[in-house]
């Protein structure tokens, strides 16, 4: 079966840079129309402009995914512009605290859970309701992390949210499967983006990661986006409730 997203409309959150922007561009190359969301309009507008310049269709919209009202508005705007939504990629995330768990302050805890868990669920539920109302199948893809599968030293709260995303993915796959809605997760390893720059641009930490990675390198956003295209496409029509690790083999041992 050909892997493409022809005639599909996809919402991608956290799409102003890094993994989200690369997924958006890959979706368009596969035939999709995309709705790009991030907190700052100028960020997603820049990505949308690049997509339009290359002949694709993109709507850019500022959306703070920790705010459920803004998520509802995002889905409504996508439907108004393109008539439907077929795919959701939950990718927006935050990680405001780096340090031991004993030192985390509650505002940082709340912000991390609001964006990384509540925001994912709110967006997934809004898109699922739209799909159910249409009587249409669809795909929801949650970007988790390998830190959702192992201890998150100095990133404990972030790691907990990513573990919650994996659990959420499984439960929603079971509940929404009868409606033809597939829900899967990707757990990237260390990917060279601005979000992870504190780790991947630190020579000592980078060497430690690379030395433990069988493929011998840090990942790039396009190491994730190809997998996202597959999971969003009809080629993965019998795949749901799964978490796909893209980490160069880091977590194998």
Beta strands 33-38 and 58-62, pairing class:
parallel
Q: How many Cβ atoms are within 10 Å of 171's Cβ, its own excluded?
A: 11
User: 31 CB contacts (<8 Å, ≥6 apart)?
Assistant: 4, 5, 6, 7, 8
Burial of 222 (0-12, 13-18, 19+ CB in 10 A): middle
Strands (E), 160-236: 181-188
Task: Tell me the CA distances in angstroms from 18 to 13, 23, 125, 128, 146, one per residue in order.
Answer: 11, 9, 25, 26, 17
User: 168 CB contacts (<8 Å, ≥6 apart)?
Assistant: 117, 120, 121, 124, 142
Torsion on CA atoms 149, 169, 238, 28, rounded to nearest 10: -90
- Annotated active-site residue 97? The verdict is no
Read off the tokens for 152: 């998150």
Check: CB of residue 187 under 8 Å from CB of residue 148.
yes
Could you say which of 97, 120, 158, 230 is catalytic? 158
- List the catalytic residues: 158
């Amino acid at each position: 079966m050909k892997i493409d997203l022809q005639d599909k409309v996809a919402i991608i959150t956290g799409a102003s840079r890094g993994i989200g922007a690369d997924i958006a561009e890959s979706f368009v190359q596969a035939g999709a129309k995309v709705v790009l969301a991030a907190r700052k309009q100028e960020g997603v507008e820049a990505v949308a402009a690049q997509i339009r310049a290359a002949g694709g269709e993109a709507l850019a919209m500022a959306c703070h995914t920790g705010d459920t009202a803004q998520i509802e508005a995002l889905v409504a705007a996508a439907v108004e512009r393109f008539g439907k939504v077929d795919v959701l990629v939950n990718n927006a995330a935050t990680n405001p605290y780096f340090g031991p768990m004993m030192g985390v302050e509650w505002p940082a805890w709340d912000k991390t859970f609001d964006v990384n868990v509540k925001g994912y669920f709110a967006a997934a539920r809004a898109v699922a309701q739209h799909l159910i109302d249409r009587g249409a199948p669809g795909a929801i893809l949650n970007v988790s992390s390998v830190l959702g599968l192992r201890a998150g030293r100095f990133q404990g709260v972030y790691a907990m949210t990513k573990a919650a995303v994996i659990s959420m993915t499984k439960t929603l796959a079971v509940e929404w499967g009868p409606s033809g809605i597939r829900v899967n997760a990707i757990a990237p390893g260390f990917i060279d983006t601005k979000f992870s720059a504190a780790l991947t641009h630190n020579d000592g930490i980078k060497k430690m990661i690379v030395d433990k990675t069988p493929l011998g390198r840090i990942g790039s956003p396009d190491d994730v986006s190809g997998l996202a295209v597959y999971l969003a496409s009809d080629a993965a029509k019998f795949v749901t409730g799964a978490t796909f690790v893209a980490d160069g083999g880091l977590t194998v041992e």
